[in-house]
Amino acid sequence: MKKLGKLIILLLAFNAVQAIAAETAAPAKPAAAEQHAYTAKTPKLNRAQLDVLLAKPNEIILIDLRQPDEVTKIGGFPAYLSIQSKDLENSLAFIPKDRLVVTVSNHAGRAGKGADLLAEKGFKVVGAVGIQDYEAEGGAVLKIAPKEEHKPADKAG
């Protein structure tokens, strides 16, 4: 009986140490899908859905909400209206109301928020897309090379 009591105490102590260790352990990094969780009301479009819309270029407008350096580093679509997400509400007058609107960002987080804002303002928003998600699904993305600075030739005499 004494052995059973000692065994129970030993197990309880072991469990207490495990519980403390679990509480102090660093939280696990969320999975990639969780890091880019989509929370907007506007639908997030996949490659196939966007390709259907891109087949009718006279009916849609792509609004890229990323910063210019993101477009340069990551790539983008051949034709789009560039409005940084922080400037979207002040740029409503530049967005055509007669076209279907698709907003663009890297993984659709900013695009979704921007799309929701545009929908609230009366625009015909059909969805948001993440350019990196689109490319990962096999979509073609235009890579934009930054301009090279031309330095005058050294004129040594």
Instruction: Provide the domain limits for residue 107.
Output: 32-136
Q: Is residue 66 part of a domain?
A: yes
* Res 30: pLDDT: 46
- Check whether 112 has a pLDDT greater than 80: yes
Closest CA to 75 of 123, 144, 3: 144
Residue percentage of the chain with pLDDT more than 90: 65
Token pair, residue 134, equals 């689109």
CA–CA separation, 123 and 32 (whole Å): 31
Q: Is residue 4 part of a domain?
A: no
* Res 17: pLDDT: 40
CA–CA separation, 50 and 53 (whole Å): 5
Q: Is residue 13 part of a domain?
A: no
* Res 21: pLDDT: 43
Q: Is residue 73 part of a domain?
A: yes
CA–CA separation, 67 and 80 (whole Å): 13
- Check whether 134 has a pLDDT greater than 90: yes
Q: Is residue 42 part of a domain?
A: yes
CA–CA separation, 2 and 33 (whole Å): 52
* Res 156: pLDDT: 57
- Check whether 10 has a pLDDT greater than 50: no
**CATH number of the domain enclosing 96:** 3.40.250.10
Residue 4 pLDDT class (50, 70, 90 cuts):
very low
Mean pLDDT of the chain: 82
Closest CA to 65 of 108, 33, 94: 108
Tokens 């140490």: give the residue.
17
86-96 pLDDT per residue, tens: 999 999 999 99
Q: Is residue 71 part of a domain?
A: yes
Token pair, residue 19, equals 């519980």
Nearest 10 degrees: Cα torsion 143, 144, 148, 149: -160
Q: Is residue 80 part of a domain?
A: yes
Asked whether the whole model's pTM tops 0.75, one would answer: no
Q: Which comes out higher in pLDDT, residue 133 or 9?
A: 133
How many structural domains is the chain composed of? 1
Q: Is residue 99 part of a domain?
A: yes
